[in-house]
Amino acid sequence: MAHFRLHGSKVLAVDLTGDTVKAKKGSMVAYDGEMTFKKKTGGGEGLRGMVTRRLTGEQMEVMEVKGHGTCYFADRASEINLVTLHGEKLYVEASNLLCTDGALRTGTTFTGLRGASQGNGLFTTTVEGSGQAALVSAGEAVVLRVTPEYPLRVDPGAYVAHTGRLQQHFQSGVNFRTLIGEGSGEAFQIRFEGEGLVYVQPSERNTVGGEV
């Protein structure tokens, strides 16, 4: 299995011994050893993935990297966060997914209106299985725990990913600025309930609800 490690906070080093990883297209910045690179299309493997991409418009450009040596990845000097999966499923915005172990399965899933936070449909990317994944964030991401006693509300523009047994509800007409009387226009929040972890970045992307 490929070994993921951080080289600083903004460069991912992946040690390969004949292994395969899938990474965001164009994210390789250097490598040593012998590597092969193959372009692929995200959204899931096989016929189901092809149909999902046609229905959702999910066009996550990825490349498959295989070889012996070390490959280095980065994405516009974004901070990198490592996630280790032990059979569970990771839900992540496609733009925040940098690299995954080749053994992990990727796909797309319907997540309700929350998926519209980036204006790219009602679907989000899933990563499932056992292995490592690397996420990028605008600034160092924080990991917030959700429990049945303490649900969590998140600005869609700051959401990166989540794992665990979580239910999410998309609430319109309210955001963090309207709470202090500075909101304007339609706005949104995501409410997470259940048991799990939510990754949030300290910078907001543009959303269909305008500034939130």
Q: What is the pLDDT of residue 186?
A: 43
pLDDT per position as a tens digit, 135-152: 999 999 999 999 999 999
Q: Where are the domains of the chain?
A: 3-200
Whether 14 contacts 79, CB under 8 Å:
no
Q: Does CATH number 3.40.50.300 belong to domain 3-200?
A: no
Q: What is the pLDDT of residue 211?
A: 39
- Give buried/exposed letters for 54-72 (b at 16+ CB in 10 A, else e): eebebebebbebbbeebbe
What does the block give as tokens for 207? 């959303």
Rounded to whole angstroms, the Cα distance separating 183 from 192 reads: 22
Tokens 């509800």 sit on residue: 169
One DSSP character per residue, 124-189 reads: EEEEEEEEEEEEEESS--EEEEEBTTB-EEE-TTTEEEEEEEEEEEEEES--TTGGGT---S--EE
* 85 alpha carbon, distance to own chain's centre: 13
Q: What is the pLDDT of residue 111?
A: 66
Per-residue pLDDT of the chain in tens (212 residues, 90 and over written 9): 899 999 999 999 999 999 999 999 999 999 999 999 998 765 555 444 444 444 444 456 889 999 999 999 999 999 999 999 999 999 998 889 999 999 999 888 876 554 444 443 456 889 999 999 999 999 999 999 999 999 999 988 899 999 999 998 877 655 555 555 555 444 678 889 999 999 999 987 655 443 33
What does the block give as tokens for 21? 């990883």
Q: What is the pLDDT of residue 122?
A: 57
Q: Any residues with CB less than 8 A from the CB of 147 and at least 6 apart, and which? A: 195
Rounded to whole angstroms, the Cα distance separating 207 from 190 reads: 13
What does the block give as tokens for 13? 């080093």
